[in-house]
A and B are shown apart, each in its own frame.
Chain A
Amino acid sequence: MGFFSTLGDIFRILRHVFRQIFKRPFTYFYPFEDREYPERTRGRHIHVRENCTACKQCVRVCPVVAIRIDVMDQKYNKDAALYFDYTRCIFCGLCVQACRFNALYHTKVVDISAENREDLIYGPDEITTLDREPLEWRGRRFR
């Protein structure tokens, strides 16, 4: 009977393997597709300069001194230029909470990387624009 039971085991395994072939994989094809991030995801920031009043509350509350403010650089009336140092930021969300003027938000872009440290300091040009749309760029499914 040993032979037949082994054969039965082999068939059971083969059936399992065949079933797995037609299942959707659990992994993502990462740079091209990604999972959906929730609404509250604390990713990199976006700064709306039209609303900013240069009140410096975000700078004051940041626990790791990741934000530098340049009040002299005024594009609109009474606004300021913010420099975010993403080598320091811990994405705690305190700066977004501290901003009373709806000038600072988190985005869903969580995978920021650069070739050297200087590129991770986002100046006023980078922090006010999104270089890519987080949802359009993602979600392309290959399967």
Chain B
Amino acid sequence: MKDVLEEATEIWFGPQHVSAHGWAAKLTLVGDYIVECDPNAGYFHRSAEKCLEFRDFRQGALIMERLCMLEAFLAEYPYVSAVEKIAGIDVPDRAKIMRTIMMEASRIHSLQFWWGQFAAELGLFTMLLWPWVDREFFLDAFEELTGSRHAVSYNTPGGVKYDFTDKFLSKLDRAIQRLEERMPKFRDMLLRSPTFKVRTKGIGRFDANQGLRWGISGPNIRACGVPMDLRKDSPDENLTYDMADWEVPTYTNEDHPGESDAYDRMVQRFLEIETSVDIIRQLLPQVPEGEIYERKARGKVNRLPEGEAYGRVEGTRGVTSLYLRTMDKAQTPYRAKIRGPCFNSYYSLKHLVPGNKFADFIVIFGSLDPYPGWWDR
């Protein structure tokens, strides 16, 4: 009998492929079927951790937000939180709630981006443009608040940099209203589409145990029905998720409970958007009057005492965290270690992809909502 692997072809998916924006995976194919997948990290490496060691504590958050521009408000938070813990800075109540609102807005924006992009990867290019038009309204609101569409530079140790204005609030309200109006329509259109169902149902399936073993977190694991969410499980004292009444969104498919495929992960992310909208709507009327920046922090961040801290936040793609260590009277960190959420989901392709057809590879990859900036720090 002939060994099928004798006829196997090796091809590189990326780094020039249009769907592979800066990553590459080596695929071994027999006919149209993938027998081996070897994801490669490193094409995007910008040595962010080393860069952080040369920036002082006001500048570090700028590096963090550049790791993932789509969730900039969330990405810069672990660093800011770690610095606040070491320096012992109290954040004003108004700043806490403003941070939380902007983080949720950032999450919606990021999910809208992914949703359009995932549809485009399946070839549904109209679905690319519709969510992206709605996303533009969120970007307008961000620009009104911070002066920049993507590189927001909003959180800083001791509070936030820019105060809410009436114009910003009306823009945010318009963005959310538009989303609530149009999202159910698009969601039904996409989820009931026969093309979409055929391409995604039963593709890239893993169960909760496997997912937890691989270290997958965020919406990917919640789609398996595991209510794992840092916002609920270990609430940060500088964020105000407990002021809103909400449930961790989980999705359980009746056909295969405890498992998730590409279709379930899509449904799960629509639930995430709904939850975020719910949280923002509840928090907006509760914003108290007061300072947005702790004035003592200005002197404290110049030189930090010796210490170590772990800042973390539930990002759009999963647990995003940072370990920070400082020496005594330090102007810069001694060591910063970033834990991005997408490294684990990217390397789980090694187990998810073999056995599928070549055309399904990008569906599995896209359904995990990966962002190269998070695995190549």
Where the two chains meet, the residues of A that have a C-beta atom closer than 8 Å to any C-beta of B are 37-38, 40-42, 61, 63, 90-94, 97, 106
Closest chain A residue to B167 by CB distance? A38
Closest chain A residue to B144 by CB distance? A38
- Looking at chain A's contact residues, the main secondary structure is loop
A129 to B192, CA, bound (A): 58
Q: Which of A37, A40, A91 contacts B151 (CB 8 A)?
A: A91
Q: Which of A40, A91, A94 contacts B59 (CB 8 A)?
A: A94
**Range class of the B interface residue count:** 10 to 19
Min CB distance, A111 to chain B, in Å?
14
Min CB distance, B4 to chain A, in Å?
50
Where the two chains meet, the residues of B that have a C-beta atom closer than 8 Å to any C-beta of A are 55, 58-59, 62-63, 143-148, 151, 153, 161-162, 167
Q: Name 26 interchain pairs, CB-CB below 8 A, sorted by A.
A: A37-B143, A38-B143, A38-B167, A40-B144, A40-B145, A40-B146, A40-B162, A41-B143, A41-B147, A41-B148, A42-B146, A42-B147, A42-B148, A61-B58, A63-B55, A63-B62, A90-B62, A92-B62, A92-B151, A92-B153, A93-B147, A93-B153, A93-B161, A94-B58, A94-B62, A94-B153
- Provided the pairs A38-B143, A40-B146, A90-B151 are in contact, do residues A61 and B59 lie with their beta carbons within 8 angstroms? yes
Min CB distance, A11 to chain B, in Å?
23
A40 to B62, CA, bound (A): 18
**Set of chain A residues within 8 Å of B59, measured between Cβ atoms:** 61, 63, 94
Complex contact A97–B147 (CB within 8 A) = no
**Set of chain B residues within 8 Å of A38, measured between Cβ atoms:** 143-144, 147, 167
A37 to B143, CA, bound (A): 9
**Set of chain B residues within 8 Å of A92, measured between Cβ atoms:** 62, 151, 153
**Set of chain A residues within 8 Å of B162, measured between Cβ atoms:** 40
Closest chain A residue to B63 by CB distance? A63
Min CB distance, A93 to chain B, in Å?
6
**Set of chain B residues within 8 Å of A42, measured between Cβ atoms:** 146-148
**Set of chain B residues within 8 Å of A90, measured between Cβ atoms:** 62, 151
A92 to B151, CA, bound (A): 8
**Set of chain B residues within 8 Å of A93, measured between Cβ atoms:** 147, 153, 161
A92 to B161, CA, bound (A): 11
**Set of chain B residues within 8 Å of A37, measured between Cβ atoms:** 143
Complex contact B161–A97 (CB within 8 A) = yes
**Set of chain B residues within 8 Å of A106, measured between Cβ atoms:** 147
Min CB distance, B78 to chain A, in Å?
18
**Set of chain A residues within 8 Å of B147, measured between Cβ atoms:** 38, 40-42, 93, 106
**Set of chain B residues within 8 Å of A41, measured between Cβ atoms:** 143, 147-148
Min CB distance, B19 to chain A, in Å?
27
**Set of chain A residues within 8 Å of B153, measured between Cβ atoms:** 92-94
6 A-B pairs with the lowest CB-CB distances in the bound complex, closest first: A40-B147, A63-B59, A42-B147, A38-B144, A41-B147, A92-B153
Closest chain A residue to B140 by CB distance? A38
A23 to B375, CA, bound (A): 45
A42 to B153, CA, bound (A): 11
**Set of chain B residues within 8 Å of A91, measured between Cβ atoms:** 148, 151
A38 to B153, CA, bound (A): 16
Closest chain B residue to A61 by CB distance? B58
A41 to B147, CA, bound (A): 4
A137 to B167, CA, bound (A): 24
Closest chain A residue to B65 by CB distance? A92
A63 to B76, CA, bound (A): 15
**Set of chain A residues within 8 Å of B144, measured between Cβ atoms:** 38, 40
Min CB distance, A58 to chain B, in Å?
13
A32 to B39, CA, bound (A): 47
Taking A38-B144, A41-B143, A94-B58 as known contacts, 18 extra A-B pairs with beta carbons closer than 8 A to each other, sorted by chain A number, are: A38-B143, A38-B167, A40-B144, A40-B145, A40-B146, A40-B147, A41-B147, A61-B59, A63-B59, A63-B62, A90-B62, A91-B151, A92-B151, A93-B147, A93-B161, A94-B62, A97-B161, A106-B147
Closest chain B residue to A91 by CB distance? B148
Min CB distance, B293 to chain A, in Å?
10
Closest chain B residue to A38 by CB distance? B144
Min CB distance, A135 to chain B, in Å?
16
A41 to B142, CA, bound (A): 11
Closest chain A residue to B60 by CB distance? A63
From A37, A40, A41, residue with most partner B Cβ within 10 Å: A40
